[in-house]
Structures are given as C-alpha cells and as structure tokens.
Amino acid sequence: MTAKGRGTRAAHEALPEAMREAIDAFAGHLSGVRNRSAHTIRAYVADVVSLFTHATRMGCTRPADLDLTVLRSWLARQRTTGAARATLTRRAASARTFSAWAHRSGLLTTDVAAPLTSPRAHRELPTVLRPEQAATLVELAGASSGPTATARTGAAASDAPPVEAAVVSTTEGDPVRQRDRALLELLYATGVRVSEACGLDLSDVDQARRVVRVFGKGGRERTVPYGVPAQRALDDWLRHGRPALATPRSGEALLVGARGGRLNPTTARQIVGAHAEAAGLPRISPHGLRHSAATHLLEGGADLRAVQELLGHSSLASTQIYTHVSVERLRAAYRQAHPRA
C-alpha cells in the first residue's frame, strides 16, 4: 500500500462510525453495481474520506449532517491548499456521485451535492513522440545498450540473466529485455492503457489474427489489432522470455515481473520511463505512448470514430483532443515551411 493509501485508511478509521459505514457501503456500490475499477474506487473513497474529515471539523458526525455549505467549504479549502483545477473537478464529481447514491439509499433526505459546481478541467494537449522517436524507443528496448534489468525494475529484477544479445529477436536474449520490448511494442501498437496491458492474460492474445482482447473501464470489452513488429516481440517473449521468468504464481498473466508475478502498472511505468531516458528521448509514460499511438493513427488518416473504438473511449470528446494535437503539428510545419507564414 502506498503512503497515500495508508493516509486515507488512517483518516477513514478516525471518522465517526456512521461515516465509516457509509463510505464502505458506497465503495461496495461502486464495485458491485457500477463495476468501477479498483483505481477509480480508491479515488472516490479518498475524496469522500477527505470530505467527511472536513465535515467533522465543522461539527458533522453522520452523513445526514452534510449540506451544500459543508461541500462548498470543503472545495474552497482544496483551492486554498493549491489543488489543481483537474483535482477540484474530480473531487466535486466524487461528492456528487456519493450524494446521489446516499440520497437513493436513504442516508440523505435530499441530494445535497446536485447544485455543486466545479471549475471545468483544463484539457492540455498531450505530449507525444514523433513516429521516428517511438520507433527508436521500441527498437532499442531489447538492445544491449538499454537500461539493465536492475535499473529498470529495481532489486526485484536482480536475478534476471545477463544480456546475451543486442536485440530481443534471438533465442538467447535476456528475458527481461524481451518482456520490456513486448510491453513497449504492445503499448504503442495498440494504444491500450497501462492497466489494460498489465491485465492481459495469455488467452487474450490471438496471434493468428494479431488482435488482443482488452477489458477496459467499466469492464467494457473491445478487440484491438496490432502489427507485425508487435507480433514478433510478443512471439519472442512467449516462446523464450516468459518461460524463463514464469513461476506457479504467474498464472495466466501475459506479462510477468522478474520474480514471476503479474507485471504491475507501477513497474510498467518505470520500465517505459527508463527506456525513454536511455534512448535520449523526451520523458514519456505509458499514457504518453497511448497519446502517441492515437495521434499517429489520426495523422495517418484513420477515422476519428475508429480511433475512439480502438482506445475504448466512451465519448468521442475524449478522442477529439488528438485532432488538436495533429492540427498543432500541421500549424508548426506550416510556420516552418510556408514563405508567408
């Protein structure tokens, strides 16, 4: 558990019993009825714990004591402590979701947060790699000049075999490097979220059709294709790398860590960052590779609706931000090349 998670748990335990019970029931609702991911549930719970902690300082002892004044005071305090606009927007949304549920459940006589407003989240243009930079990143991932297993994954990777080959497409390659190459190729080729990539099982990969079955937000299933380079990396990993690292605790996990357990998103982020640094590329995260994949698809002429489906966006508005990136790149090229720019 992270320090933030421990802090939330301690704050939860310090609340009055009625508030603790309401939070636990709300978390159960998000999991069992709304089918939200564990990450989303943790965020909602942390926000409601923060709200109730503030409410107790204002004399509240049970959910029914909440009112719009308390909610607005809570958000105002977030602003004074320097919370980002996106954080305020999310916390207001968490409060509205909790309030609506509590009203339906009879814990609140009215939906007190329904009128609550929050600043519109500012959507910044994502940072993306150029196509040649993305190619450099994935191609160097299996090279002997890349970061060592220990540098990438910490002490847990120290038992990985030494590097035997300059590229991963050999039977004698380092299995950790083969895993890293497969991860990077998969992230860039499919644009999946890092949590989705780490959640893939062996049965989710159809090598004959070159597609992966992905379970995204809300448990929504989609099928995403990938290309020949990713196929080669996956084949090398499945034939040689994974058997070298797999243990009984690996289960059906497609991607495993150096100790055999399922690769977790935190380690995956460290892997991506370390390889980008070793390649001399801009700082990039798995989400940055997702941004890059979407942008390159659109720049290559892909239909916006098709990209929406590939990324698993429930709303087209989430996908449209990538058109802005492409326009900015076009504008930059125009300024550089046109004599009357």
Domain extents in the chain: 3-104, 131-292
Among 82, 72, 156, 174, smallest CA distance to 114 is for: 72
- Residue 147 pLDDT more than 70? no
What mean pLDDT comes out for the span 52-74? Answer: 94
- Angle between helix 3-13 and helix 38-57 axes, rounded to 10 deg: 50
Instruction: Spell out a b/e string for 138-173, using b for 16 or more CB atoms within 10 Å of the CB, else e.
Output: bbbbbbeebbbbeebbeeebeebeebebebbbeeeb
So which residues are the catalytic ones?
Answer: 193, 217, 287, 290, 313, 322
Q: What is the pLDDT of residue 44?
A: 94
Region of poorest pLDDT, from 10-24, 91-105, 265-279, 313-327: 313-327
Residue 163 has what pLDDT? 29
Element (H, E) at 222: strand 221-225
Which of the residue ranges 75-79, 83-87, 290-294 would you say has the lowest mean pLDDT? 83-87
For residue 110, the SS3 value is coil
* β-sheet bridge partners, residue 253: 201
Check whether 151 has a pLDDT greater than 50: no
Looking at every residue in the chain, the average pLDDT score rounds to 84
Domain 131-292 falls under CATH 1.10.443.10: yes
Radius of gyration of the chain (CA): 23
Tens of pLDDT, residue by residue over 40-54, are 899 999 999 999 999
Confidence of residue 340 (pLDDT cuts 50, 70, 90): low
Mean pLDDT of 159-172: 33
Reported confidence tier of residue 149, pLDDT bands at 50, 70, 90 = very low
Q: What is the pTM of this model?
A: 0.61
Predicted confidence at residue 124, as pLDDT, reads 60
Across the range 133-143, mean pLDDT stands at: 88
pLDDT of residue 69: 92
pLDDT top residue among 285 and 333 = 285
